[in-house]
Amino acid sequence: MAAGATDEQARNAIVEAADELFYTRGVNSVGMDAVRERAGFPLKRIYKLFPSKEDLVIAVLDRRSRLWDDGITRAAEASGDPVERLLAVFDFLADWFREDDFRGCAFINAYGELGSGSTRVAMAVREQKASFQRYVADLVGRIGGSPGLAAQLVLLAEGAQTTAAISGSPEAAGVARAAATTLIEADTGAPCVAA
């Protein structure tokens, strides 16, 4: 496929290969030769589509953002109950934490490696985090919760990701979900149904 691939096909294959490598090994430890080898495209083609490694990192973060948004939305929309939609964020995390290749949040990882040296990476990470905050704030608004509740739930979700990555234990999602339930009940005055 590499020889006859359209630019869009090549771009998608290169981003997918780079994503896998960056996520498992870290951005700084992966050279463009490793991306070339994994994706199966010559460096000339890769650099035609991504003039710099930073451009490729941004494309990977864009891909990760779409995957995150789609996964969270699917999890939330699986329930008709507004509170359960909100708590589904933590169910999504629990499933993700159990995946064999879970290495924590790709955005936090990229920021830790590159955020101080790349304005574009820092901006992409901040935008993804702000997008998640807006999404949770919308779900909180649907149950009559306060803006403060939304901020607390986002912090729980972000902390669960970091804790699960460092500890290697997916239980952080369940702990965060239980804390979220307590916060929702305290903020709205309505009891949550146990999951």
**pLDDT at position 116, please?**
87
Same domain flag for 87 and 181: yes
Same domain flag for 84 and 173: yes
pLDDT for residue 142 is more than 60:
yes
Same domain flag for 169 and 107: yes
Same domain flag for 90 and 43: no
Report the distance separating Cα 108 and Cα 125, nearest Å: 7
Same domain flag for 85 and 168: yes
Residue 1: pLDDT band (50, 70, 90) is low
Domain that holds residue 70: 61-188
**Contact (Cβ atoms closer than 8 angstroms) between residue 143 and residue 188:** yes
**pLDDT at position 4, please?**
84
With respect to residue 157, please indicate whether it lies within any of the assigned structural domains: yes
Percent of the chain with pLDDT over 70: 97
pLDDT for residue 195 is more than 70:
no
Strand (E) or helix (H) holding 121 = helix 119-142
Report the distance separating Cα 90 and Cα 137, nearest Å: 15
CB-count exposure of residue 120 (10 Å: 0-12, 13-18, 19+):
middle
With respect to residue 155, please indicate whether it lies within any of the assigned structural domains: yes
Report residue 152 as tokens. 């607390």
Number of domains in the chain: 2
The CATH number of whichever domain residue 5 belongs to comes to 1.10.10
With respect to residue 169, please indicate whether it lies within any of the assigned structural domains: yes
| pTM strictly above 0.85 | yes
Residue 115: pLDDT band (50, 70, 90) is confident
The CATH number of whichever domain residue 95 belongs to comes to 1.10.357.10
pLDDT in tens, 80-105: 899 999 999 999 999 999 999 999 99
73: number of Cβ within 10 Å:
14
